[in-house]
Amino acid sequence: MPSTEKKISALQQAALTSPDYADIVPLFIGVYDYLLGLENQTGITIAPSCADPKERIEKSFPLLIFSDLKVNQERSVAFLLGLIDVLSQKGQENAEYLQQIAIALKSGSIDPEAIYGAILERRRTPINDISDLLAVPAPLVEYIFEIPLKTALESFSTGYDANSFAGWQENFCPICGSRAGMAELSGEEGRRALSCSACSFRWPFKRMACAYCGCDDPEKLSYFTAGDGATRVDTCKACSRYIKTRDSRKGDSDVPLEVEDLLTIHLDLLASREGFERGK
């Protein structure tokens, strides 16, 4: 997992080299500045109930289940309130919504553990319920609670490498069960790896197959690029989803994929216009 310092540095460099990024990176830099040194203070600890990954791999189950996450309510709320302060300073347009979430956290109207579980297990109802209760956009609720969860999961995933899950052929993360956020091609043969959207763990995956539905029909798989960048969009007509893929042979391999994702938002917009939805 790339360090928080490396993510900050990559964003700062992007802002210097391209005026197009100057307006969008301050918010993300502010978030990473907040995380720096607090990576282990999210209030989330992870203790896997299954000590041997092989036992889970054989059944095609991820290593972690939600009950493996232990949440300290007081520390979690304190972390979230600090994060909300940063977001309020950097994104004034959401200040009222952020204040609503902060008030609910302080009053105990929101249970962070329940939201973390919903995100990890891809259950929309608890997030939508909070959105309706507070009259705030559901994506904002999810974004705020994703940050500490991803931070804790990333710290945990650093203890493993691809060899720990040799033989894993699934299209979801062998550690936390989340879907891929991006893909990367590397090496002379352009070997493909998927990068988890939650814990940033990478695992090998078939080159010619949809990262979400597994379709391997060449007539349904395609890709497009925009400009000369190293990142493209792989699309699947079978499920109408897409994944951004960086070809590290063309450059940018030193940029953390999470940052590359932030710096290629224009590709998400283009994919949406073409009728494709980002896979989750």
Residue 1 has pLDDT above 60, yes or no: no
Euclidean distance between CA atoms 72 and 44, whole angstroms:
6
% of the chain surpassing 90 pLDDT: 70
pLDDT, residue 20, reads 75
Bridging pattern class, strands 277-278 and 241-247: parallel
**pLDDT interval class at 152 (50, 70, 90):** very high
CATH code matching the domain that covers 162-278, chosen among 3.90.1670.10, 3.40.630.30, 2.60.40.10, 3.40.630.10: 3.90.1670.10
- pLDDT tens digits, one per residue of 67-108: 899 999 999 999 999 999 999 987 667 889 999 999 999 999
Mean local confidence (pLDDT), 2-21: 85
- pLDDT tens digits, one per residue of 23-57: 788 889 999 999 999 999 999 999 988 767 777 77
Greater model confidence, 113 or 50:
113
pLDDT, residue 140, reads 95
Enumerate residues 6+ apart whose C-beta is below 8 A from 202: 162, 184, 193, 194, 195, 196
Mean pLDDT in the chain? 91
Enumerate residues 6+ apart whose C-beta is below 8 A from 145: 80, 112, 115, 116, 119
Residue 137 has pLDDT above 60, yes or no: yes
H or E element in which residue 78 lies: helix 73-90
Pick the most confident of 48-57, 225-234, 265-274. 265-274
Q: CB atoms < 10 A from the CB of 4, how many?
A: 20
% of the chain surpassing 70 pLDDT: 98
Euclidean distance between CA atoms 163 and 196, whole angstroms:
16
pTM of the model: 0.91
Indicate the DSSP class of residue 71.
Answer: E
**pLDDT interval class at 228 (50, 70, 90):** confident
Tokens of 257: 């994929």
Euclidean distance between CA atoms 144 and 213, whole angstroms:
28
Mean local confidence (pLDDT), 190-210: 94
**pLDDT interval class at 226 (50, 70, 90):** confident
pLDDT, residue 92, reads 67
Burial of residue 123 (CB within 10 Å: 0-12, 13-18, 19+) is: middle
**pLDDT interval class at 155 (50, 70, 90):** very high
Q: Within 13 Å and on the Cβ side, how many CA atoms surround 104?
A: 20
Would you list the domain boundaries of the chain?
A: 38-157, 162-278
Bridging pattern class, strands 202-204 and 191-196: antiparallel
Bridging pattern class, strands 241-247 and 231-236: antiparallel
Radius of gyration of the chain (CA): 19
pLDDT, residue 2, reads 66
Return the closest-CA partner of residue 39 out of 119, 157, 181.
Answer: 157
H or E element in which residue 279 lies: none
Residue pair 115/122 in contact (Cβ under 8 Å)? The answer is no
Residue 258 has pLDDT above 70, yes or no: yes
Residue pair 249/242 in contact (Cβ under 8 Å)? The answer is no
pLDDT, residue 189, reads 83
